[in-house]
Structure 1
Amino acid sequence: MSGKPVRAKSLSVEDRQSMILDAVTPLLIEHGQGVTTRQIAQCAGIAEGTIFRAFDSKDELLRAAMDRQLDPEPLRLELAALDRHRPLEERVRTMVTLLRRRFAQVFALMTAVGQVGRPHTHDVAHEFTLLLADVLAPDLLRLTVTPERAAQVIRMIALAASVPHITAGPVFDDDELTALILYGILGSPTPPNATL
């Protein structure tokens, strides 16, 4: 038998683009628009020329990377897939985790790179509030506010907790934020006759 090496199957343009986009995001956060195609190629484990077989220019690559990271569809799918039969506390914690991950990534990219790519033209915030409300709806009788209002509160807290200059001081973890959302800072309303 001959020991001739088997050549790896070549990637489609879409697969090559996806592989490069996977590599470029952390580099964009670290280096911003100053990232070089050499750095991208090294991180992706490819020759620098391979980048230009997948993208016409570095600018096109940066726009594609930002479009991919700012695309709300993956988060929409994750939230829509939440099991409405799980306990409310688990669903709220998962919402907090998913939203914080999304907000942190977007803020890190926007801080490092600035505005690149096309802004979304529809009201993503309202759409996500409705989606979160739908996930909360099975527990309507447990909520002290409408599911839409609860969803708005969850989004606001997750957003604020994802912006470093807003959360000056100790970092909040997802469990602490979930408890604050569900139980507030008092745990329950103070009875009117209670002495403080």
Structure 2
Amino acid sequence: MTSTSQRATPLPPDERRAALVASTLALVLAEGPDVSTRQIAQAAGVAEGTIFRVFSTKDELVNAAVASACDYSPMLGELEAVDRTAPLDVRLVAAVEILQRRTARIFRLVDAIGLKAVEASRSHRNLVEESALVGQVLTDLIEPARERLRLEPHEAARRLHLLTFACSHPRLVQDDPMAASEIVSMLLDGVRLRPGAPERLP
């Protein structure tokens, strides 16, 4: 009798590696770095031996997962995809939401594996480079509104980046981050009541 079951088509090497890294990262964020290769294999839907055909050790896989979480290129891609034709406040809210997700992700990782382990995958040079690239993208988003601002776009971008970090950092906001729309409003409008402005917020 012929079996009707079929073995899943093997993933190409790059896709298999990415699937293992993604599954490992999700487990590390949920349970810390002491996850087993059996858990990883189950989460990725592969045999346990498959892991060691891609990575030499479990630590190598965990390190790759942490490095993927620290990689800022996906965030930059999201920022660069923000609609430049949208109104200024709309595009800045979109950018702040992206930055907030990045901040939350990094601090979830810190909580899961510790600050030193994250710093090992996120060098000072990378942090400086990331900050500079984010600043440039924010400047580009603000540039079309240059004539309506009292600050140069690069300075408005710097302040928006600082505000976003300060108002979203879990240790500073006690797990109650400010809404992206409020961060943008604080930058563009300030906190002083003005004629025609919305009612005072709590």
Q: TM-score range by the shorter chain?
A: 0.7 to 0.9
Q: Does 1:145 align with 2:151?
A: yes
1:82-119 CA-partner distances (Å, limit 9, x unpaired) = 22211101111001100000111112112322334362
Aligned residue number for residue 24 of structure 1: 24
Higher helix share: 2
Name the CA shift for 1:145/1:105 in 2 (closer, same or farther; >3 Å): same
Q: Does 1:136 align with 2:121?
A: no
Picking from 96, 115, 119, the partner of 2:123 is: 119
Q: Does 1:35 align with 2:35?
A: yes
C-alpha separation in 1, matches of 2:140 and 2:39 = 43
For residue 54 of structure 1, what is the amino acid of its counterpart? V
Where 1:9 maps in the other structure, the secondary structure is coil
5+ residue gaps, structure 1: 190-196
Give how far 1:169 is off.
Answer: 7.2
C-alpha separation in 2, matches of 1:117 and 1:85 = 36
5+ residue gaps, structure 2: 196-202
For residue 72 of structure 1, what is the amino acid of its counterpart? Y
Cα contact 2:79–2:137 (8 A) shared by 1? yes
Size of the aligned set, in residue pairs, is 188
Cα contact 1:64–1:117 (8 A) shared by 2? no
Structure 2-normalised TM-score? 0.82
C-alpha separation in 1, matches of 2:177 and 2:82 = 26
Which 4+ residue blocks in structure 1 deviate beyond 6 angstroms? none
Aligned residue number for residue 158 of structure 1: 164
C-alpha separation in 1, matches of 2:95 and 2:79 = 7
Aligned residue number for residue 57 of structure 2: 57
1:40-71 CA-partner distances (Å, limit 9, x unpaired) = 22222222222222211111111111221111
Aligned residue number for residue 13 of structure 1: 13
Q: Percent identity?
A: 34
What are the within-5 Å matches in structure 2 for residues 175-186 of structure 1?
Answer: 175-186=181-192
C-alpha separation in 2, matches of 1:183 and 1:39 = 50
Structure 1-normalised TM-score? 0.85
Name the CA shift for 1:6/1:28 in 2 (closer, same or farther; >3 Å): closer
User: More deviation in 168-177 or 51-60?
Assistant: 168-177
1:7-26 CA-partner distances (Å, limit 9, x unpaired) = 33211221111111121222
